[in-house]
Chain A
Amino acid sequence: MAEYTKPIPSPDPVSQPFWDGAKEGKLMLPRCSDCNRVHWYPRVICPFCHSMNIDWVEATGKGTIHTFAVQNNRGLVARGWGDEVPYVTAYIDLAEGDRMLTVLKGVDPNDPDSIEIGAAVQIEFEEASEDVHIPFWRPV
């Protein structure tokens, strides 16, 4: 595997089930056992009803584009991403609720009008290291 040169997240005890799922190509999301709502990012307490009974569910990996932007300026983006400009970042509304940040794959950053807010997207995972597989999204 070629060396992954972009930032690699550091899993913590709270988020570990998400990263474990990612290694198997599954989108695992935290869900409150009391109000049944899914939240993102992972927490030890439900941000909606403040219950501390959180479990994890496997999600569909489906979502829609909430909004996006094209990163044109290499000086403003993090180490490793400079060589990728222009690239498209987006916030994804998850089918199960709440929202994730991502980089969109399979879109043309030079033609932002061809990318549609509301368009359906599907998750995929890229192996950045043995322990961390990073979620990205791609239009269906």
Chain B
Amino acid sequence: MPGEASKAAAIIGAAEANDIGYPATPKSSLTLHIEAINNVCKMTGIPIAAIDGIFSAGWSPQIAEYLGLHPKYIDTTAVGGCSFEMHVHHALAAIHAGVINVALVTHGEMGFSQRFTGGKGTGRPFGGGDPWDPGTQHTSAYGLGGAPTGYSHAMNRHMSRYGTTQEDFAEIAVVTREWATLNPRAVMYRKAGEGDLPPLEQGEWGGGKRGHTFGGPITVDTVMNSRPISWPIKLLDVCLVTDHGGAVLITGPEIAKTSKTPPVWIAGAGESISHWNMLEMPDFTETSAGRSASAAYRMAGMGPEDMEMAMIYDSFTVTAGITAEMLGLAPAGEGPALWKDRHAAPGGRLPINTNGGGLSFNHSGMYGMQLLVEAYRQLSGTAEDGGFSGDPGKQTSARSCIVNGTGGTLSTTGTLVLVSDD
């Protein structure tokens, strides 16, 4: 039986900023937020002034001030890329409790453009590691830095424990790229200069509507031959670094009826954490998604067998492979087989990462909002008709979707079970 909060609220609209991926000129993270907020309010017909709860990864006070809003609920949970799935969980609870009526979950991040602004405009919601912080103190000597330098340890442990191979994980990148070739908004949609896409000018980055030097279909060999980053992780096991802005509105059933766009119901939600620094990770082949998914399924009164598609955070191929196991979609050690056996592929029984994923669609540093936007597009049936932005994508027939964000270094997880309107 579903929990009391199940379907107490719905995502009534989801939109992105005007330019995502590799924009020609940088926009600040704040502007990316505001464009997406404006777009989602236009698409739903809910005025910005009606927003009375703001949920973001560190930005809520700035967003409220900038929009002249005085929200009754201010949430700045910033625990990595899964923050946005947690925001939906928190918004569901706040609406169910009667504290607020219209929740905004918002994201803006110039992951790509910051390289041209010297870091200006990013807002920097995260602080650096304090030298006395125990995690920092007992790991900093060994030089681990960018995210791949940690995740590679989990991939190696998975291979050692279960006999999975680098080729198995490469299949995840290959199938995910296949989805990206069906989505014109995806950075890796196709190679620049192919089809109706013009060749890139000197120094131009392209992405999305312009194509990418490395875009279009890839094979396992392409992944295996890409340069090593942190063995066993290679370049094509790693997500993109792009710009993104996105926003969703969440309301109870009464206001949902007034929206111009259909509701997608929050049937279940859960969140958890296993560690913050990877030094404290209990098991390198498991994440807390086992617990967050269990909570979400329980609230929904549904199980993995009821899921018709999945949006799984794929910062790296290993993130997606392990998470599929944690969500109960595959037995332990067999996550990558969902892709290898093409169940996750276009036309498969369980489409996964239909936008092309963080690997080939868009990943701005935190990818949780992109998961929400795509889940909404699929379950509201607006993926193929272009939705608000006029950009089409592949429409699946799925009516239920499990969404799982992962943050930190396989540390934090937020899981949602979303279902289409009856």
Q: CB within 8 Å of B: which residues of A?
A: 6-12, 14-15, 40-43, 66-73, 75-78, 80-81, 84, 86-87, 89-91, 99-103, 112, 117, 128, 134
* Given contact pairs A10-B131, A71-B149, A76-B149, A89 touches B144 in the complex (Cβ within 8 A): yes
Q: Once the chains bind, are B139 and A71 in contact (CB under 8 Å)? A: no
Which residues of chain B have C-beta atoms less than 8 A from A6's C-beta? Answer: 141, 143
Q: Shortest distance in angstroms between A122's beta carbon and chain B's nearest beta carbon?
A: 17
Q: Once the chains bind, are B143 and A68 in contact (CB under 8 Å)? A: no
Which residues of chain A have C-beta atoms less than 8 A from B229's C-beta? Answer: 72-73, 76
- With A and B bound together, what is the CA distance between A38 and B57 in angstroms? 35
Closest chain B residue, CB of each to CB of A47: B280
Q: Is B68 an interface residue (CB 8 A)?
A: no
Q: Shortest distance in angstroms between A26's beta carbon and chain B's nearest beta carbon?
A: 17
28 A-B interface contacts by CB (under 8 A): A8-B141, A9-B137, A9-B140, A11-B137, A40-B138, A40-B279, A41-B138, A41-B280, A43-B134, A67-B156, A67-B157, A69-B153, A69-B156, A69-B233, A71-B149, A72-B228, A73-B149, A76-B230, A77-B149, A78-B143, A78-B144, A78-B145, A81-B143, A86-B231, A91-B279, A101-B142, A101-B279, A117-B160
Q: Is B146 an interface residue (CB 8 A)?
A: yes
Q: Shortest distance in angstroms between B274's beta carbon and chain A's nearest beta carbon?
A: 13
Q: How many residues of chain B are within 8 Å of chain A by beta carbon? A: 34
- With A and B bound together, what is the CA distance between A87 and B142 in angstroms? 10
Q: Shortest distance in angstroms between B375's beta carbon and chain A's nearest beta carbon?
A: 31
Q: Is B135 an interface residue (CB 8 A)?
A: yes
Known contacts A14-B134, A41-B280; 7 further A-B pairs (Cβ under 8 A) = A75-B146, A76-B148, A80-B143, A87-B143, A89-B144, A91-B278, A99-B279
Q: Once the chains bind, are B149 and A69 in contact (CB under 8 Å)? A: yes
Contact with A along B111-155 (1 / 0, CB 8 A): 000000000000000000001101101111111111011001111
Q: Once the chains bind, are B279 and A100 in contact (CB under 8 Å)? A: yes
Q: How many A-B residue pairs have CB under 8 A?
A: 122
- With A and B bound together, what is the CA distance between A72 and B228 in angstroms? 6
Which residues of chain A have C-beta atoms less than 8 A from B141's C-beta? Answer: 6-9, 128, 134
Which residues of chain A have C-beta atoms less than 8 A from B142's C-beta? Answer: 81, 89, 101-103
Closest chain A residue, CB of each to CB of B160: A117
Q: Once the chains bind, are A100 and B143 in contact (CB under 8 Å)? A: no
Closest A-B pairs by Cβ, 5 of them: A81-B143, A69-B152, A76-B146, A70-B231, A10-B131
Q: Is B199 an interface residue (CB 8 A)?
A: no
- With A and B bound together, what is the CA distance between A89 and B227 in angstroms? 19
Q: Once the chains bind, are A101 and B156 in contact (CB under 8 Å)? A: no
User: Which residue in B139, B144, B157, B232 is a CB contact (below 8 Å) of A112?
Assistant: B232
Which residues of chain A have C-beta atoms less than 8 A from B157's C-beta? Answer: 66-67, 117
Contact with A along B361-405 (1 / 0, CB 8 A): 000000000000000000000000000000000000000000000
Q: Is B205 an interface residue (CB 8 A)?
A: no
Q: Is B284 an interface residue (CB 8 A)?
A: yes
Q: Once the chains bind, are A7 and B149 in contact (CB under 8 Å)? A: no
Q: Once the chains bind, are B143 and A103 in contact (CB under 8 Å)? A: yes
- With A and B bound together, what is the CA distance between A7 and B278 in angstroms? 18
Which residues of chain A have C-beta atoms less than 8 A from B148's C-beta? Answer: 73, 76
Which residues of chain A have C-beta atoms less than 8 A from B140's C-beta? Answer: 7, 9, 78
Q: Once the chains bind, are A41 and B156 in contact (CB under 8 Å)? A: no
* Given contact pairs A77-B149, A91-B153, A117-B157, A112 touches B138 in the complex (Cβ within 8 A): no
